[in-house]
Amino acid sequence: MATAIADAGTGRARARRPRRRGDRRRRIVGYAVLSPLIGFAVFPLLWMAVSSVKTPDELYAFPPTWIPDGVDWGFYRRVLDGTQFTDFMVNSAIVGIGSTAIVVVMSAMAGFGLARGGFPGRLFVSRSVLVAYVFPTILYAVPLFTVISGIGLAGTYPGIILVHVAFNFPFCTWLMMQYFRSLPKEIEEAGRVDGLTHVGIFVRLAVPLAAPGLATTAIFGFINSWNEFLLSFVILGGGERRTLPVGIYNFVGSEVADWGPLMAATTLAVIPTLVLFLFIQRRITGGLTGGAVKG
Amino acid sequence: MTSRLDSAERIDSRSEEPAPALAGAPPSPGSRRWYRPILRWLDRRTHVLLVIPGVALLLGIVAYPVGFNVWNSFTDRNLSFPTSAWVGLANYERVLTDAAFFSAITRTLVWTFTSVAGQLLLGFIGAIALQAVRRGQGPLRLGLIIPWAFPSIVLAYSWKFMLDPIVGVVNDVFMRLGLIDQPVAWLGTESTAMPAVVAMNIWFGFPFMMVALLAGLQTIPVEHYESARVDGANFWQELRHITLPGLRHVIGALVVLRSIWVFNNFDFVYLTTGGGPIRATETLPVYAFQIGWTNYDIGRMAAVSVAMLGVLVVIVAVYLKVLRVDKED
């Protein structure tokens, strides 16, 4: 490992300097270090996708075949026709869209209020929002279940949507606050001069100007809701409203997992994320490293 | 800019009072007089009013259950029984005398430390190599970080499948390489379960570290390397005196943030091993969940949660300090 650092570092230093003797070698070393890392990063999910199109005979053989004999959609057919997978997907979509619509509005409001407001306690609120963001879900999941079931919303769409809104709210607010802060204040001051009320400035100026931020927030909000496991697991249990992660978890009943349909199901589960990312290609890296998805 | 404004929301220059836009469409002049002062009073408080719904939600869905949890920790509340009674510190006593609690703490620290260290190490090597290669940085960063946004169940099950004792590809590769003689149940063996889950977590997190560190590397001025080269510094000296000091803040923030997330991580462990075999991977979140959800013993789970919270408060205090979240602009 130490050699790897040394070699990579030599190559890395080269990137900063004008072209000189030995550059070629350094670049080759860079590739040599990077390739296994990329292979490591890509392999598990690639293997999942490849395995999902194998035939049952091929999948359950050991040693496994590295390149499938052909593409067989049998596992997908079994997942889509033989299980409740599509129901779970619909549930996830309803919960995701519903909670995202609400959380975007609420976080835009709160984000603007915190970014531009001068009221006492503003700092305390923005800190609390951040603490709520890093607060471990496990610490409130089970007591939250007693609260939600106490008001009769356990296992229902409104219940889980409410929970997902709260789950997503801290980060979305943080994201919107950053966007509103990045807008030039002069525009709002000009709005004031032109006689806009504070509400008018928010609705007529700030929100339209922050539209790209709203779109990004909505996409990450949806993805977070789509991925969320623990709260959905506790609130929805084994009921009809199970979201996709909970539904997939319940696929594994017996000791020996049915890997074929499972790999088809997990492969299908990432497609919405990939499709959504097509819309915000340029903002993905920044959004993800900024913490937009809970990891 | 003026064109954006609806005329109804503009001050009539002849009128002294601005027409509030709270009601959306402006009411007719005759009927609105009495509530205008109220609307103006509200409008001046727009910012705080905008924040209230979200804060109320957080209070109801996050803060209240947490408080309820603390209350529960002094009762014998159990999901199987409708009533509960005050038991004082009995739950804490049971938790603090439970050997599993302390071994869960140890395992959580091992899990957090090895995962974050592994992620950081691989991420650092990757960032430096990617910087050296120069080509394809954009697509590579994007391609490697996308799985970060996938559902944890997908990530966990893709690994569970690879590590499967019967059809797992990892056994095939390791047997071909001569590392093992016969298939191993990686997640089902006490000694290999934790390393396997940590390996998965390193796999999950290192691209994130790589992308963040690469961004950090690009903020180090080229001149520093050039003058080091003039002074005859070798690679190790450059790494020691330029690269690492230049990345110090990025690494600090990353380590703190990732430590919090990994410490809190429930999904990966629960979905791959469920805490087993024989508690070999039972970290604090899984331990708390088993007590509260599997055994319905909410009172005792609450006591575990409060203890966990204590550890976290320390980490979060450091986090707020390191990131200085309240710094304006």
Question: Domain locations in chain B?
Answer: 29-72, 92-323
- Shortest CA gap B144–chain A (Å): 7
Which CATH number does the domain B92-323 belong to among 2.60.40.350, 3.40.50.720, 1.10.3720.10, 2.30.31.70? Answer: 1.10.3720.10
pLDDT in tens, B183-205: 888 888 888 999 999 999 999 99
Cβ separation B49–A34 shorter than 8 A: no
Closest Cβ opposite residue A27 in set B121, B132, B289: B132
User: A-chain residues within 8 Å CB-CB of B163?
Assistant: none
Q: Show which of residues 56-85 on chain B sit within 8 Å of chain A, judged by CB atoms.
A: 57-58, 60-62, 64-66, 68-69, 72, 79
- ipTM of model: 0.84
| Per-residue pLDDT, B2 | 40
Is the per-residue pLDDT at B133 higher than 60? yes
Confidence of residue A40 (pLDDT cuts 50, 70, 90): very high
pLDDT in tens, A233-269: 999 987 888 999 998 888 765 455 788 889 999 999 9
Q: Where in chain A is the domain with CATH 1.10.3720.10?
A: 83-289
Q: Which of A59, A139, A273 to mutate to test the interface with B (most CBs of B within 10 A)?
A: A139
pLDDT in tens, B237-277: 888 888 888 888 888 888 888 888 898 899 999 998 888 78
pLDDT in tens, A53-100: 988 888 888 788 888 888 889 889 988 888 888 999 999 999 999 999
Which CATH topology does A83-289 take? MetI-like fold (1.10.3720)
B16 touches chain A (CB under 8 A): no
For residue A208, give the chain B residue with the closest CA. Answer: B4
Provide the token pair at A171.
């980060």
Closest Cβ opposite residue A126 in set B4, B11, B326: B326
Closest Cβ opposite residue A64 in set B69, B167, B208: B167
Confidence of residue B11 (pLDDT cuts 50, 70, 90): very low
- Shortest CA gap A155–chain B (Å): 16
| Per-residue pLDDT, A158 | 92
Closest Cβ opposite residue B312 in set A62, A136, A273: A136
B175 touches chain A (CB under 8 A): yes
Closest Cβ opposite residue B10 in set A44, A147, A195: A195
Cβ separation A11–B132 shorter than 8 A: yes
Residue B135: Cβ-neighbour burial (10 angstroms; 0-12, 13-18, 19+):
exposed
Closest Cβ opposite residue B158 in set A31, A44, A143: A44
For residue A271, give the chain B residue with the closest CA. Answer: B150
For residue B202, give the chain A residue with the closest CA. Answer: A41
CB–CB contacts below 8 A, A to B: 372
- Mean pLDDT calculated for residue range B122-134: 87
| Per-residue pLDDT, A6 | 35
User: B-chain residues within 8 Å CB-CB of A37?
Assistant: 122, 125-126, 129, 206, 210
Confidence of residue B206 (pLDDT cuts 50, 70, 90): very high
Cβ separation B10–A162 shorter than 8 A: no
Residue A181 identity (one-letter amino acid): R
Most confident of A52-66, A169-183, B89-103: A169-183
- Mean pLDDT calculated for residue range A20-48: 82
User: A-chain residues within 8 Å CB-CB of B18?
Assistant: 195, 197
Cβ separation B271–A38 shorter than 8 A: no
- Mean pLDDT calculated for residue range A149-163: 90
| Per-residue pLDDT, A3 | 32
Q: B137-141, B212-216, B231-235, B279-283: which range is least confident on average? A: B231-235
With tokens 């995202």, the residue in question is A100
The whole-chain average pLDDT of chain B stands at 81
| Per-residue pLDDT, B155 | 94
B143 touches chain A (CB under 8 A): yes
User: B-chain residues within 8 Å CB-CB of A160?
Assistant: none
Q: What is the rounded distance in angstroms from the CA atom of residue A231 to the CA atom of residue A248?
A: 15
Cβ separation B143–A42 shorter than 8 A: yes
Provide the token pair at A206.
């700030």
User: B-chain residues within 8 Å CB-CB of A5?
Assistant: 124-125, 128, 239
- Mean pLDDT calculated for residue range B300-326: 73
